[in-house]
Structure 1
Amino acid sequence: MTPSLIDPNDPVERQNEKLLKIAESLMRRVEESTDASGAAYAQFQRAAMLEQEVRARTLELERALDLLNEPNARLAQANRETEAARSNLANAIETVQEGFALFNSDEELVMCNSRFGMHMPDIRSALVPGLTFTQYVELVSESQFLALPDSETPQQWAQKRMARHADEHVIFNARMIWNRWVQVSEHRTPDGGTVILQTDVTDIMRIERQERDRMLDDQARLIRATLEHIDQGLCIFDSKLRLVGWNKRASELLSQPAARFQMGAQFATLFNRFRADVTFNDEMSAADIEAWVSSDGNRPPLSFEIHRGRSHILSVFAQEMPDRGFVISFTDVTAERQAAQAIIESKEQLEQRVADRTEELARALKDAERANATKSRFVAAASHDLLQPLSAAKLYVSSLESTVEDDTARNVAHKAGSALGSVEHILEALLDISKLDSGQASVHVSAVPLGPMLMQFGDAFRPAAHAKGLDLRILPSAALVQSDATYLRRILQNLISNAIRYTDRGKVLVGVRRRGAHLVIEVHDTGPGIPEAARDTIFQEFQRLDAAASAAEGMGLGLAIVERACALLDHSLSLSSEEGRGSVFSVRVPLARAAGQAAPHPELPATGQSGDLHSLIALIIENEDNMRAALTMALETWGVQVLDCASEDEARTLLTEIGVSPDVIIADYQLDNGRMGTDAAQRLGVEFGSPPVCIISANRSVELSERCASEGFGLIHKPIDTNKLLHFLLNCTAHQDAAPSP
């Protein structure tokens, strides 16, 4: 590219000036040149071309200037319009009747109108664009026209103002001097700026205050009327301990002239005027009250009593108010205290009478408990004493029945055994009633399977039902219930026995129904039904629907035992009956929470195969001679070889002397000198080969049953059931036969 003598970036005037100088220089060189050849002409030609280029460039520059002038004109027009809009905005803001200020996102003042800060002339000149918001707040806080509370400094006000500024929306009232008010509100702009509006709300505040004063005056009159109509005396003091409110009742209760109660009277003056006329109780003194009134901290409420004169008692209550003032109320409680004293005296007299009566009742209760305990001991002792000879009699009758050959004698022996069985049932019922009434009955609640129990009832009661021509149906069940096995057995046994006894034709049905977490055991019969009037009395002792029945058929104790046993186990008992169609007795028993193996019934081990008893050697330990002789006779009748002894020591001596180990031990539970048959059988079993043990006793406690079950002993209650004893011996024989030969 050929270098140009003209800089295109120079102004047009400068370029023209350079072109003229170049042309002039070229012309001068042409004129001065001695060479007239074509060189001069060439230079002239170049000068002419340069002049044309200058003219063309000049035209281009003029066109470029025209193009620049058009945007400049539009920019100038835009500037004029902006200035007009700014002027219009300023005029519009100026016409606003409120103080207006705009701060940008950098917290700097952009513009404000003349009314902004008009209530603070001392800072008005400092409100100029560029002022930061923090500086604005500091100016306002230090203005002499801002009225601050006595407890607040300008710095504290500024800190609170800046904290409020951080909120999204701000509006509050600022108090100026001369009782003027300005409402200040802040609004956020989309670009993060802040608009502040200041509104003079003095007139509104004055109207509100006037209305509030009017309402306060109305309230004051209402309060005054209320104070004068209440029965309490009231005195109200302000924070400077000056009297600002009271009622006439206060002067009456304190027995002070009404003229002494004047507005502004000091508490100390009033207190000193009546303190000599009153007496304080032990918990409060005049010094304590003065200390409470003059306390600088929070005053807790005071409540105490004072005595005026000989008979008047005033209850005083003092409480601090939010403005550090306090109110004291006086209540005449003379009548209440006199009534309370009369009540106390009456109460003391009544308590003395109650104490005397209680002592009498306690003696009567002790006598009743002593009589009841005596009765229970008598019944237990009498039953035990009767059970011993009864057991012997049953064993003698059983032996006689199995040995006599004459049918008439055998029939008499059988009837005698049945009579003794009836006596046995009556004694058992008396024992049960005695235990349940005396509170000595103990229960052992566990998971009890109903299936085996119902099967045993079927085996036990089916012969009696068939003998009467009744259809006895006991539905099977695999349920587990939470109950005491012994008492549950006794409850169901009595209900089934009653159903069979009082049903002449038809059937007896025993079944269970599931009811949520409970099982309802029902005994249905097709008997005569129970009249409505008799449904409460049948559960009492010695009450029977069939009054003509003999004692051998029961003494009316079965349902009494059922009711007491159900109450003891917390099993609900219900009765549904219809005369001529039958009755339903229901026992509601809770289901066992978890399946488990219930403890086996401890009375007897399982019955074994029938076998020969002639090879069986039985050791009998019984301290009663008649009972021991009857047991020996019964066992020898069955072919058992018997070693009878009265004590453990006698048995040990006999076995050691003859060198024989017994095949079975039958021991009475209660031996002489407080010794127990269970302990004797355990010790002898260890010494002589651990033979099977059967305990016989009139004790029907759960503890004995559990002890026998844990030791693996059989248990037969007195009077002895010979069938159970025979089954026990047969079972021992079966085990003996199954044992391997040495």
Structure 2
Amino acid sequence: MTFLNPDEPLERQNERLIRITEALMRKVEQKTDEAGLAYAQFERAALLEAQVKERTRDLERTLDLLQDSNARLASANAEAQAARSNLSEAIETVREGFALFDAEDHLVLANSRFCRDFLDIGDEIAPGLSFDEYVRLVSSSRFLALPEDETPDSWASARLSRHRDRSAEFNVSLIFDRWLKVSEHRTATGGTVILQTDITEIMRAERQERDRLRDRQARMVRATLDHLNQGVCIFDGGGNLVGWNRRMDTLLGLPLDEPVLGAPFGALLDGLSDRITFSDGFTADGLLSWAARGSGRQPLALEVRREPDRILSIFAQEMPDRGFVISFTDVTAEREAANALFEMNELLERRVEERTLELGDALAEAERANASKSRFVAAASHDLLQPLSAAKLFVSTLADRAEETETLDIIGKAETALTSVENIIDALLNISRLDSGKAAFEIRPTPLSAILQPLRNELGPVAAAKGLDLRVIDSGLTVESDPGYLRRIVQNLMSNAIRYTEKGRVTVGVRRVGRSARIEVWDTGPGIPDAEQKTVFQEFKRLGNQTAGPGGLGLGLAIVERACESLGHPLSLWSEEGVGSCFSVAVPVHTATSAPSGKTSATLIEGASCEGLVVLLVENDEPFARAASLMIESWGALVLHVADGEGALDLLREIDLTPDVLLLDYQLGARMNGIALFDAICDQYGRLPARIVSADRSRDLRKLCAARGLELLTKPVDRDRLLTFLQSINVG
């Protein structure tokens, strides 16, 4: 329990303490305390007096603080009043109308220019006014100029929708051709500041400038229209004439003053009905219907004929303001030219048709001649290969028997000449097959090493004889190609390089280019001039336009080009005079991990002989048969020669002898060929070692031989291959 109530003011507590002190002092003076009670009360009175003094000092300090706070508050109120006064004066000096709404959209303050142009609502613009009420007042003001299709409510709704944005600027139209620009922005505390700027002078200046520009553009458009070669007339959205050029009067044959501004399109069209005639099924009603559409007109093109001999092209198109423009173009000359061209085209078509028939007959005749040529070349080559093969065999036999060096030299030259003739005939056959499209290709995985290594061994001595350095860089790649034709391609390129290179080297290598292997043959020869780099691939063409001679007939590159084209192997040439040349062939790389090994050339079996072999030779070409018999018998074998298949079967039955080897010509006559004879002999005597001999190098014959496990010896027969075959029989 305390004597003081802390909730009472300090003055009241101080008065109470004084009264308590005085009462205690009086009580001390009136009574005596025999046991020392008076003294204790005195001490208590003294303690209370000390507390009263402490409280008095606290009260004094509090009063001082209160007085200081009151002074500061008064100063702050004065400053706030001054700031408010300064703010009011500041916004009053702003040339635009200014208003500030608080976060609850109530007007806080505004200057005298705010809504000054709305004289009928000025008295109602006062602090506390809500934003919605402010918008309603403006929308209902008679000084607001609303568009014809807008009401005060719709304007107010659109105005309030803008209020949702943090910032908005728009123009407001007033009566008497006045304009306000309203800018509305949000404050950091959520309030809204509105500025109203009078832009009447700016809008009027822009309008004047726009009118000047429009007038200037109108004059430019008028001048442009008058200089056009087309007649042009322009109609507004109501279909009334608003402009035309002089060319329209000329094209339509109208007097200069006949069209009248504002005249409807229908009236003008009626006035032209006796001057123009529509074509292509179009009518004046169709054009009127098109013009009557208010919008969505598609461009329209038609032609009319104006009497007596003018043809006009009309093009009508809608404009953005829903009006339309119609142009007239005189196309009389074009149509006359088109008619003349049409007649000329018909004449040319008849001539082309006649010439096409003539060319068709000529083409058929050329195809027949080409087919006859191909058949002739094939037949002639076959007939030539028969005696050529016999001649080679006779020469080979003679070489085995000759002992004198001079005789052997002559025989060697004869063999070389015969080999050259064989190569020429073989080249002609290949070109004939490639040209006729009858060349048979067997595309299969082919190791490049099986192509390059034999050619290096074969052509190395030829290059060395000329003092050339032949470098063949082996490759482990396997490609997709016909191995026979690919070998011939590379062989021809290498042979040509060696033939035309007098000194230096010939280098053959392979580059991997993406999915292709590019086989390149480089030489240090004289190079090929640019003018001859295309002609070198033609038949019987050689460098420097040399004639055929010891260097070759000029068929090698022709075969290379045709073979590469048929196989789909791109062939390219780089050459520089005095530096050298490079022929390259791009061949697809085989993607499989393994590839079949290539065939190796025949090799003579050392220490083997043909002694004691009985060889049945069935050949209807007597010179070849004599030459072959003479050569085989010179190796120690016995030859039984028969001209046809029936005779061969009769001979075997008569002598009751089974031969060791069969050499069967394929073309033995109409009754029985070499394959049929082989089958008949195998049926009677079992399978015997055999070879089919023929000048026919077709794929069909190779397939027939392969089906029976036979090897084909093409004429002219290679002496070493035949000897190797016979030696293998004796060894076996």
Question: TM over 0.5: same fold?
Answer: yes
Write the distance in 2 (CA, Å) between the matches of 1:600 and 1:657: 45
Judge conservation of contact 1:602–1:708 (CA < 8 Å) in 2. Answer: no
Q: Which residue of 2 aligns with 1:725?
A: 722
Post-superposition offset of 1:448: 5.8
Structure 1-normalised TM-score? 0.78
Q: Which residue of 2 aligns with 1:324?
A: 322
Gap change, CA 1:682 and 1:95, over 3 Å in 2: farther
Post-superposition offset of 1:201: 0.2
Q: Which residue of 2 aligns with 1:476?
A: 472
Amino acid at match of 1:520: E
Judge conservation of contact 1:283–1:304 (CA < 8 Å) in 2. Answer: no
Judge conservation of contact 2:519–2:584 (CA < 8 Å) in 1. Answer: yes
Amino acid at match of 1:477: I
Q: Which residue of 2 aligns with 1:510?
A: 506
Q: Which residue of 2 aligns with 1:253?
A: 251
CA deviations on 1:223-270 (whole Å, 9 max, x unpaired) are: 112211211111111222222111122232223344442222222222
Structure 2-normalised TM-score? 0.79
Write the distance in 2 (CA, Å) between the matches of 1:307 and 1:5: 127
Gap change, CA 1:279 and 1:54, over 3 Å in 2: same
Aligned-CA RMSD value: 5.3
2:578 is equivalent to residue 587 of structure 1: no
Amino acid at match of 2:719: T
Write the distance in 2 (CA, Å) between the matches of 1:143 and 1:615: 138
Correspondence 1:571-582 to 2 at 5 A: 571-573=571-573
Gap change, CA 1:710 and 1:75, over 3 Å in 2: farther
Amino acid at match of 1:716: L
2:384 is equivalent to residue 383 of structure 1: no
CA deviations on 1:693-715 (whole Å, 9 max, x unpaired) are: 64544344577778878987544
Q: Which secondary structure does the structure 1 equivalent of 2:272 belong to? A: helix
Gap change, CA 1:637 and 1:291, over 3 Å in 2: farther
* Higher mean C-alpha displacement, 154-163 vs 291-300: 154-163
Correspondence 1:604-643 to 2 at 5 A: 611-614=608-611, 635=632, 638=635
Post-superposition offset of 1:494: 4.5
* Higher mean C-alpha displacement, 624-633 vs 370-379: 624-633
Write the distance in 2 (CA, Å) between the matches of 1:703 and 1:622: 21
Identity of aligned residues (%): 47
Q: Which secondary structure does the structure 1 equivalent of 2:226 belong to? A: helix
Q: Which residue of 2 aligns with 1:333?
A: 331
Q: Which secondary structure does the structure 2 equivalent of 1:261 belong to? A: coil
Amino acid at match of 2:63: L
Q: Given the alignment, which residue of 212, 216, 219 partners 1:221?
A: 219
Correspondence 1:61-76 to 2 at 5 A: 61=59, 64-76=62-74
Q: Which secondary structure does the structure 2 equivalent of 1:475 belong to? A: strand
Q: Which residue of 1 aligns with 2:88?
A: 90
Gap change, CA 1:551 and 1:44, over 3 Å in 2: closer
Post-superposition offset of 1:79: 0.8
Q: Which residue of 2 aligns with 1:115?
A: 113
Judge conservation of contact 1:662–1:688 (CA < 8 Å) in 2. Answer: no
Q: Which residue of 2 aligns with 1:291?
A: 289
Correspondence 1:45-444 to 2 at 5 A: 56=53, 61=59, 64-105=62-103, 107-124=105-122, 127-130=125-128, 133=131, 136-137=134-135, 140=138, 143-151=141-149, 161=159, 169-282=167-280, 284-395=282-393, 398=396, 420-438=418-436, 440-441=438-439
* Higher mean C-alpha displacement, 667-676 vs 77-86: 667-676
Gap change, CA 1:85 and 1:348, over 3 Å in 2: same
Correspondence 1:26-37 to 2 at 5 A: none
Q: Which residue of 1 aligns with 2:522?
A: 522
Write the distance in 1 (CA, Å) between the matches of 2:671 and 2:291: 80
Gap change, CA 1:617 and 1:178, over 3 Å in 2: farther
Write the distance in 2 (CA, Å) between the matches of 1:651 and 1:168: 116
Judge conservation of contact 2:613–2:637 (CA < 8 Å) in 1. Answer: yes
Write the distance in 2 (CA, Å) between the matches of 1:426 and 1:536: 22
Write the distance in 2 (CA, Å) between the matches of 1:533 and 1:78: 106
Judge conservation of contact 1:608–1:727 (CA < 8 Å) in 2. Answer: yes
Gap change, CA 1:368 and 1:85, over 3 Å in 2: same
Write the distance in 2 (CA, Å) between the matches of 1:402 and 1:464: 24
Post-superposition offset of 1:199: 0.3
CA deviations on 1:561-613 (whole Å, 9 max, x unpaired) are: 456556765423456666xxxx9553122365467777666696666555244
Amino acid at match of 2:344: S
Gap change, CA 1:380 and 1:710, over 3 Å in 2: same
* Higher mean C-alpha displacement, 39-48 vs 135-144: 39-48
Amino acid at match of 2:583: V
Write the distance in 2 (CA, Å) between the matches of 1:656 and 1:123: 142
Write the distance in 1 (CA, Å) between the matches of 2:666 and 2:141: 110
* Higher mean C-alpha displacement, 184-193 vs 672-681: 672-681
Post-superposition offset of 1:726: 2.0
Equivalences, count: 721
Write the distance in 2 (CA, Å) between the matches of 1:179 and 1:148: 12
Post-superposition offset of 1:213: 0.8
Write the distance in 1 (CA, Å) between the matches of 2:44 and 2:370: 159
Write the distance in 1 (CA, Å) between the matches of 2:21 and 2:575: 147
Amino acid at match of 2:270: N
Judge conservation of contact 2:434–2:562 (CA < 8 Å) in 1. Answer: yes
Write the distance in 1 (CA, Å) between the matches of 2:544 and 2:712: 35
Write the distance in 1 (CA, Å) between the matches of 2:163 and 2:251: 56
Write the distance in 2 (CA, Å) between the matches of 1:310 and 1:345: 23
Gap change, CA 1:94 and 1:699, over 3 Å in 2: farther
* Higher mean C-alpha displacement, 231-240 vs 16-25: 16-25
Write the distance in 2 (CA, Å) between the matches of 1:644 and 1:370: 40
Judge conservation of contact 1:496–1:523 (CA < 8 Å) in 2. Answer: no
CA deviations on 1:510-568 (whole Å, 9 max, x unpaired) are: 31367884443034569xx9999999987665567999999788555445545655676
CA deviations on 1:297-348 (whole Å, 9 max, x unpaired) are: 5222222222222421111111111111111111111111111221222222
Gap change, CA 1:154 and 1:708, over 3 Å in 2: farther
Judge conservation of contact 2:604–2:723 (CA < 8 Å) in 1. Answer: no
Amino acid at match of 2:184: E
Amino acid at match of 2:522: E
Judge conservation of contact 2:497–2:506 (CA < 8 Å) in 1. Answer: no
Judge conservation of contact 2:602–2:720 (CA < 8 Å) in 1. Answer: no
Amino acid at match of 1:512: V
Long gaps (5+) in structure 1 = 737-742
Write the distance in 2 (CA, Å) between the matches of 1:635 and 1:365: 51
Judge conservation of contact 1:604–1:728 (CA < 8 Å) in 2. Answer: no
Amino acid at match of 2:355: R
Judge conservation of contact 1:16–1:54 (CA < 8 Å) in 2. Answer: no
Gap change, CA 1:240 and 1:297, over 3 Å in 2: closer
Q: Which residue of 2 aligns with 1:740?
A: none
Judge conservation of contact 2:619–2:665 (CA < 8 Å) in 1. Answer: yes
Judge conservation of contact 1:228–1:248 (CA < 8 Å) in 2. Answer: yes
Judge conservation of contact 1:395–1:722 (CA < 8 Å) in 2. Answer: yes
Judge conservation of contact 2:145–2:173 (CA < 8 Å) in 1. Answer: yes
Judge conservation of contact 1:235–1:329 (CA < 8 Å) in 2. Answer: yes
2:688 is equivalent to residue 698 of structure 1: no
